[in-house]
Amino acid sequence: MNSQDIIAQLPYSKPFLFVDEITHIDENGVEGSYTFDENLDFYKGHFKDFPVTPGVILIEVMAQIGLVCLGMFLLNNTFSKSTSIALTSTDIEFLKPIFPTEKVIVISEKIYFRFGKLKCKVIMKNENEEVVCTGIIAGMVIRK
């Protein structure tokens, strides 16, 4: 399964698809990016007159790239439409805000993948290579 296959099979669509590109993926981790469109609905009400990307959306970007994309790659031929990867836990520290039109890069390193549970150390950086947020996310494979 290559990067384009993974993005095409993600169980999300706009406006809730937060993966533009996967630049690297292997059995140990993934790196990808997303650019925030200034017209996304949440910017209309999250800090009037000074839109900031909500932390929960930053976690979602980290989860989609760093957990779901990696999980799909690790499952390779056993991933199908009847398979999902559900977020089970997060421990994220937020260090810098992200504003409309900013591009973020997510780097995820697998801690373990066993018994259907994937746990990763994830870092999000902005285009200036500054760490925006960092932490641990985990999820599990769900078969419908």
Q: What is the distance between the alpha carbons of residues 135 and 112, in angstroms, rounded to a whole number?
A: 15
Out of 3, 40, 42, 46, pick the active-site residue: 46
Residue in 129, 70, 76, 81 with CA at minimum distance from that of residue 103: 129
Sheet holding 21-26, edge to edge: 21-26, 29-35, 103-114, 117-126, 131-143, 83-94
- 24 classed as catalytic: no
**Catalytic residues, which ones?**
46
